[in-house]
Structure 1
Amino acid sequence: MSPTHDKHSSQGLLQAQVDLWHHTLGFVKSVALRCATELRIPDIIQHHGGSMTPSELASKIGLHPSRLPHLRRLMRVLTVPGIFLVPEVASPDNEVSYGLTPTACLLASCDEVRSNISPFLSLLLDSTFTAPFFGMHSWFLDEHSTSMFKKAHGLNFWEMAEQDDTYNQLINDVMVSDSNFLMDIILREYAGVFLCINSLIDFAGGHGGSARAIAKAFPQMKCTVLDHPHVVEGAPTSDHVSFISGDMFKYIPPADALFLKWVFHDWGDEDCVKILKNCKEAIPPREAGGKVIIVDMVVGSGPNMRV
């Protein structure tokens, strides 16, 4: 008997194979989710009263009848991980119907959330964003390559946005939708953080989604967005938010508080330290009310830890 058989039961080996298939085919859930969003399935179900059968969906989408069995498979794939749900009450003809989970509501114009975040999904599953990951092995072997994105496209993420108007617009749409969703929660749960601030600069604030939300909640506060020139040029005008172009690595205008949402995870440790040093130069001392407000993700290191 081989050492493998000594150490693992047959059932354990079969389960290991299943786990490996799950990891290998994990991308199917992502592309299925993208497909459902592009077909506007969450919106269609929402506007149909919150529940639809595949036949009703196919008719509303305008699919050829030959695609109905495949639509059923698509919905089943997205029901298992909890994107859609199957209501306990069956339809009159006993055909399975599908409803929206809170997760699916984030992709639709639901009353429960202020804004949908489907643009974020569109960016993360865009071929420009995903292509670099398929070259990960060659990036590891290339000691001179700074990032997978630049190795794949010849430009880093932000250089691509500066040169590609379509990609730049997609990124700005993502930031606006994310701000509309997230700032509603932040200002509801952590409004005290923004008290007694007279001026605030939103780093890399794009078209001002976060700054507008803050300015609306605190009208007395002077809110400014600092971003790259090509971003500022396309920003909509506002009576409550001003826009300035600049580079946070070179100079940060003075303000009582600096707001950094989804900034630090884009940079390595040395760059983050450089940004924080510039922040320190731009704000008053702590005892005078100076603040650096950071909204970002913290990643665990264990197998069962989550962001």
Structure 2
Amino acid sequence: MATFSNEELLQAHTELWDLTFGYLKSMALECAIKLGLPNAIHRRGGDATLPDLLDAVSVPESKKAHLPRLMRFLGAFGIFTADAPAAGERANGEEAGAVYGLTPVSRLLVDDSGANGSCGSLSPFVLSQTTKYHVKAAMHLPEWFTSDDGAAAAEMPFRTAHGADLWGVMDRDPKMNQVFNAGMGSDTQLAMDFVIGNYGDVFDGVTSLVDVGGGTGSAARAIAKAFPHVKCSVLDLPNVVNSVPPDGVVEYISGDMMSSIPATDAVFLKYIMHDWNDEDCVKILKQCKKAIPESGGKVIIVDIVVGSPLKAMLEAQVSFDLLMMVITGGKERDEHEWRKIFMDAGFSHHKTRPVLGFMAITELYA
């Protein structure tokens, strides 16, 4: 067995610690959002001292001394900047503290309109992925891996932890349903800005579109706004559709994509296929194929294609894959795996292009 040099040992030890305490990153990020720290810094013009933050957020007197430690942690991982004051600089007669600023990451968490360019805040997305349900499900990974009793609870760690799948939990917990839909909507806004702004040609020749599993209609509304000639509809479960007030822009249809999809020029699937195993994906795609015309019809898929050559992108892709294993029983797929389910569903050819970093857009033809 190879021996470590002192330098290698120390590096490995540091990396192991970083992995061990990795959960604190997402919890600290959630805390920053709930305290309103990104908004507080933004509303101070992009720079804020500790007294500025304490004036802006609701922290009891007994906890105020701990806020600098949270800010230091978030700064170490690139969420905020922390510029030390010049030597001897004083504020209100006291030694000046650090000045905190926004980074590209924390700018994505600001709620104020226009702070992030054309996209909205991704804070709802973060909050939708750091719920008690997600955390508890992930903690059941070891139990799930060693269970082989064939029971429904063994299908995925989420069901092992909660006795129901994600959709069942949202059905019985209206607050979770609201948090999840808000999160999906916020991420959709950013994704659709990129798709429409850079790959709008995928909608060429389309006069009608059904957004399958489209939730509250964020993607469909964005498409309808950019392409007014396209009649956009959303197909989703009754508990989702019934919670959305009519907007006069998108038609909301209650249904089950496994059973039937309304006839349309194009079916739009954003972050849907990764929720399902291969067998169910083939069922969904076969329903999509029935819904579109043989000539000129298409299925448009926005999802991950695993295999990015860039380390950060690949880490995001495989993290999403593990998340799917934990909460839905689905998976993220590489190019070969995508091609197989396309062929099994009876599609003749497809075209895939990278979009939004670790995501891709695929046009699938009958």
1:30 maps to 2:26: yes
Deviation at 1:89, TM superposition (A): 7.2
Q: CA RMSD in A?
A: 1.9
CA change 1:292–1:92 in 2 (3 A) is farther
Q: Which of residues 78, 103, 106 in structure 2 aligns to 1:104?
A: 106
Partner of 2:40: 44
CA contact (8 A) 2:72 2:82 kept: no
CA contact (8 A) 1:46 1:109 kept: no
Larger mean Cα displacement after TM superposition, 74-83 or 223-232? 74-83
Question: 2: distance between equivalents of 1:303 and 1:138?
Answer: 33
CA contact (8 A) 2:35 2:58 kept: no
Question: 1: distance between equivalents of 2:83 and 2:202?
Answer: 41
Partner of 2:198: 189
Any residues of structure 2 matched to 1:14-29 within 5 Å, and which?
A: 14-29=10-25
1:167 maps to 2:169: no
Question: 2: distance between equivalents of 1:81 and 1:167?
Answer: 28
CA contact (8 A) 1:207 1:236 kept: no
Matched residue type, 2:65: P
> SS where residue 305 of structure 2 aligns?
coil
More strand by share: 2
Alignment size in residue pairs = 301
Larger mean Cα displacement after TM superposition, 175-184 or 129-138? 175-184
Question: 2: distance between equivalents of 1:10 and 1:101?
Answer: 35
CA contact (8 A) 2:81 2:103 kept: yes
> SS where residue 258 of structure 1 aligns?
strand
Question: 2: distance between equivalents of 1:192 and 1:294?
Answer: 14
Partner of 2:68: 72
Larger mean Cα displacement after TM superposition, 231-240 or 161-170? 161-170
CA contact (8 A) 2:85 2:97 kept: no
> SS where residue 236 of structure 1 aligns?
coil
CA contact (8 A) 1:200 1:257 kept: yes
Question: 2: distance between equivalents of 1:232 and 1:217?
Answer: 23
CA contact (8 A) 1:55 1:68 kept: no
Q: Which of residues 285, 289, 296 in structure 2 aligns to 1:289?
A: 296
> SS where residue 293 of structure 1 aligns?
strand
1:131 maps to 2:136: yes
Partner of 1:158: 167
Question: 2: distance between equivalents of 1:134 and 1:162?
Answer: 22
> SS where residue 297 of structure 1 aligns?
strand
Partner of 2:283: 274
> SS where residue 289 of structure 2 aligns?
helix
1:53 maps to 2:49: yes
TM-score (norm 2): 0.78
> SS where residue 155 of structure 1 aligns?
coil
Question: 1: distance between equivalents of 2:293 and 2:142?
Answer: 46
Question: 1: distance between equivalents of 2:41 and 2:5?
Answer: 45
Deviation at 1:158, TM superposition (A): 1.0
1:121 maps to 2:121: no
> SS where residue 177 of structure 1 aligns?
helix
Partner of 1:245: 254
CA change 1:172–1:284 in 2 (3 A) is same
CA contact (8 A) 1:54 1:68 kept: no
Question: 2: distance between equivalents of 1:123 and 1:226?
Answer: 22
CA contact (8 A) 1:42 1:104 kept: yes
Matched residue type, 2:98: V
Partner of 2:230: 221
Deviation at 1:50, TM superposition (A): 0.5
1:256 maps to 2:265: yes
Matched residue type, 1:150: R
Question: 2: distance between equivalents of 1:84 and 1:280?
Answer: 47
Deviation at 1:234, TM superposition (A): 0.4
Query: Residue deviations 1:232-265, cap 9 Å, x none?
Result: 1001212121011111111111110000011011
Question: 2: distance between equivalents of 1:241 and 1:87?
Answer: 47
Deviation at 1:9, TM superposition (A): 1.8
Q: Which of residues 298, 304, 307 in structure 1 aligns to 2:305?
A: 298
Question: 1: distance between equivalents of 2:90 and 2:212?
Answer: 54
CA change 1:67–1:212 in 2 (3 A) is same
